[in-house]
Structure 1
Amino acid sequence: MINPFVFACITPHGLPILEELSQGNPQLMARTRSGMKQLGTWMREADPETIVVLTPHGLKIDGMFSVTDSSYLSGEMSEQTVAGMVGDRREDKGVTVEFNRAVDRDLAKRIVAAADKAALPVAAANFATAEGPFSTLPLDWGVMVPLYFMPDVPIVVVTPSRRISYEDHIRFGAILGEQVRQSGKRVGLIASCDWSHAHDVNGPYGYHEDAVELDRRVVASLKEDEIEKVMEFAAPMIDHAKPDGIWQALILAGAIPREARNSTFLSYEVPTYFGMMTVAYHAQ
């Protein structure tokens, strides 16, 4: 078995990773920002034609894998967005970072058709018109933050559903990897994952000791290239810790077989209320 991707990675998506959106505190996520810059360098060196991004914050279709099939994707992030995430409802946007990307519809359609043939619940998502400039879906911060560091190439965005079993996330990942291989294209993969969100009593989700334990176990699993171990967390622990990375990580696990995970664990930190990790998966 081989890694079908020219480069893959697990990234976080906290907006202050972008220095422009750090609200005057660029040291806040400096370790993670350094890891993201390294991932971006490796992705550019791998020279992908397309990047597939797995995000928990995209177009959610309950009980289905959502795959972008619009012509374009567009979005923006601002200091106002960062402030709003912690309850500060400022009126001025401040610094704004805008994104516009084309969609690799050929690869998107391949993924959807193969997943549908395998009886997985999947939907191709579009908006407004069948194609052209009005066929544009919104980009979420789970996509835009990692893409900030990556080459400007067409993308495909996949949003999983927590109603779908872990096993089917792995199956979807295997189908994704096979379709990339069959396409003959140079494709990169990003699993956009923040981890436990209950590290800070003053954060929006409060504090729970399970957040520390869950992140500790995820770090160990990723360092050992045993991503599948994230399936072992009990439901109460997930509820207490509030990670959003499990589902995207399992798709990556299905897409890159265990024996093909030539990984480099770069960083882990908890500068605010949620855990963030950067991990690279190199082509062999």
Structure 2
Amino acid sequence: MPTFVFSAITPHGYEILEDLSPHNPALMEKTRQSMQTLGFGMAAAKPETIIVLTPHGTRIDGQFAVACSARMKGTLEFAGRQQTMECTVDRELARAIVKAATDDHLAVGALQYATSDGPLACLALDWGAQIPLSFMPDVPVVVITPSRLVSMADHLRFGESLARAVAKSGKRVGLIASCDWAHAHDASGPYGYHPSAAKLDKRVVQLLKAGEIEALGDFSPDFIEEAKPDGIWQSLILAGAIARDVRRIKFLSYEVPTYFGLICCEIEERAAND
């Protein structure tokens, strides 16, 4: 049986949410439609828990950070609008992932806030998690934030640890790698323009369509710095969790409506003997 009931690579631009794009709701319509498709697929898979890999959560330098608080809550503010979300954390699975990674000699931290339980035990829910979760069924979550100070190889290994914990749990689990891509497509954007942005995104699209997610880890540090993607590390965790020989990628969309690239993919996981 597949380890994950449904998996996806999604973006997390604010204006994907129509409520946060009141002045130009068509801006990210292509991506929004793909996100709705992914949300329908996740809902049909009936997960008990959804794991979100996000670059924007509470980070620990040199460690994978796993939210183990009782709850998470976040408020997005954009274009004069607000959206608040509160999620229950699947603490049992979160702690199992921490243990599996620790057993594999990976640097990992279990994050909590204020108290071990109760109303104060609530960590911030970042936009990298909240935006894709806005399209998904309302179930408990596990939110994980990688560190770019950890090697690319260890991101793959962490994915293997994560998958082992999920398989051992016996739960129906969905997996989302929340990823925006190159952030240097537009001179007027906050990171300016660099020609490497278009080159990196083109290569990412090629690799994803070919199912070669692991190859994202081969990009040079200079190329990454020039293009400024934030999706490589979460994608590598997903690649470690769903091995090349059992994955098939259904590529839904790519667009660059502002200064950063947006990609939506479904990752179909087959049984190893299929």
TM bucket (normalised to shorter chain) is over 0.9
| 1:1-284 paired onto structure 2 within 5 Å | 3-79=2-78, 94-284=80-270
Quick check: 1:3–1:257 contact (8 Å CA) kept in 2? no
Residue 261 of structure 1 deviates from its aligned partner by 1.0
Sequence identity percentage: 55
Moved over 4 A (4+): none
1:74-125 deviations in whole A, cap 9, x for unaligned? 0111225xxxxxxxxxxxxx32111000000000010001111111000000
Tell me the distance in 2 between the aligned counterparts of 1:239 and 1:138.
27
Residue 177 of structure 1 deviates from its aligned partner by 0.7
Quick check: 1:110–1:179 contact (8 Å CA) kept in 2? yes
Residue 54 of structure 1 deviates from its aligned partner by 0.2
Residue 3 of structure 1 deviates from its aligned partner by 3.7
Tell me the distance in 2 between the aligned counterparts of 1:280 and 1:239.
27
Structure 1: stretches of 5+ with no match in the other structure: 81-93
Q: Tell me how large the CA RMSD over aligned residues is.
A: 0.9
Residue 194 of structure 1 deviates from its aligned partner by 0.2
Tell me the distance in 2 between the aligned counterparts of 1:78 and 1:164.
31
Amino acid at match of 2:193: Y
3-state secondary structure, aligned to 1:212: helix
Quick check: 1:160–1:247 contact (8 Å CA) kept in 2? yes
Residue 262 of structure 1 deviates from its aligned partner by 2.4
Quick check: 2:177–2:238 contact (8 Å CA) kept in 1? yes
Quick check: 1:3–1:261 contact (8 Å CA) kept in 2? no
Tell me the distance in 2 between the aligned counterparts of 1:225 and 1:156.
25
Residue 283 of structure 1 deviates from its aligned partner by 3.9
3-state secondary structure, aligned to 1:204: coil
Structure 2: stretches of 5+ with no match in the other structure: none
Residue 38 of structure 1 deviates from its aligned partner by 0.2
Residue 234 of structure 1 deviates from its aligned partner by 1.0
Residue 267 of structure 1 deviates from its aligned partner by 0.2
TM-score, length-normalised on structure 1? 0.94
